[in-house]
Amino acid sequence: MLRFCFVMLVLVCTNTWGQDGMANITAGEYRPLYLSLDSPLVSVPAFRLDKQPITNREFQHFVVENPKWQRDAVPSLFAENSYLNHWLKVSNQYVPNATDLEKPVIFVSWYAAQAYCQAQQKRLPTIAEWEYVAQASFTQKDGSLEKGYNQQILDWYAKAAKQPPAEVGKDEPNYWGVHNMHGLIWEWTEDFNSNLISGESRDDSSVNKDLYCASGSAGAVNPSDYAAFMRYGFRSSLNAKFTLGSLGFRCAIDGND
């Protein structure tokens, strides 16, 4: 019996954890906040996701190899003036403070984040992928129904908003073996602005338009999921060139082979 349990544990770890800093995420479904309860679930194909947000150390390596993404070289079209403004100028180059190397890189635009991921033969995760992984608790794929779990996430968000980011990977990983999905920083997604209504009824037939008027959260899938409302509102306010002190990213890859 003990040997059987050990074998099962090895199989679970093999299916979930990658060997290159990425977690294997199996295919599944989730229902976005802004759809109605009778809307079909959104299918999320299998993919791989970085276990941790990209650090200042990792982004520095990218900048060294791609000088056009240096703080003083990026065109204003691709990043605001605050791009990497937490880095220090040393010998005509901007570098992160030595104490920040293992902290998540912040003050990066969507363009810079996407360029980094592409340089690693990766991409930014989609909203669906990010939310699918983020709904996991420490022990379940969907922790949204666990008592106190939504409140715990809100507490994390409140704490993160009041202090600079700490080092990555210091929290307990979730079901997928992924760290820092909540409570450290906000994160860019590939399609961060896709939640906006297009105005075309044929495109938006499944969108719950009550979310955009006085009824507020009354028509949402889960009106008590305030953390999801926060993420939804935050993403909807972003512009691709924004660089914020609470906004970083991680990368993804299609499939999990």
For 44, the domain range is 28-254
Assigned domain for 132 exists: yes
The mean per-residue pLDDT over the stretch 78-88 comes to 97
Cβ(108)–Cβ(247) below 8 Å: yes
Total count of domains within the chain? 1
Residue 225 sits in a domain of what CATH number?
A: 3.90.1580.10
Pairing, β 247-248 against β 186-187: parallel
> What pTM value is reported for the model?
0.79
In a domain, 7, yes or no: no
Does residue 3 lie in a domain region?
no
- Report, as an integer, the average pLDDT of 112-137: 95
The arithmetic mean of pLDDT across residues 49-76, rounded, is 97
- Tell whether 19 is covered by a domain: no
- Helix, strand and coil in the chain, % to nearest 5: 30, 15, 55
CA distance 143 to 204: 28
The answer to whether residue 157 scores a pLDDT higher than 80 is no
User: Residue 190 has what pLDDT?
Assistant: 94
When pLDDT is cut at 50, 70 and 90, the band that residue 38 belongs to is low
Residue 201 has pLDDT above 80, yes or no: no
What percentage of the chain has pLDDT greater than the value 90?
A: 53
Half-sphere exposure (Cβ direction) of 192: Cα atoms closer than 13 Å:
24
Percentage of the chain modeled with pLDDT above 70: 73
For residue 4, being part of any structural domain is answered with: no
Q: What is the mean pLDDT of residues 180-188?
A: 91
Residue 15 lies in a domain: no
Confidence grade of residue 1 (pLDDT, cut at 50, 70, 90): very low
Task: Give the pLDDT score at 218.
Answer: 37
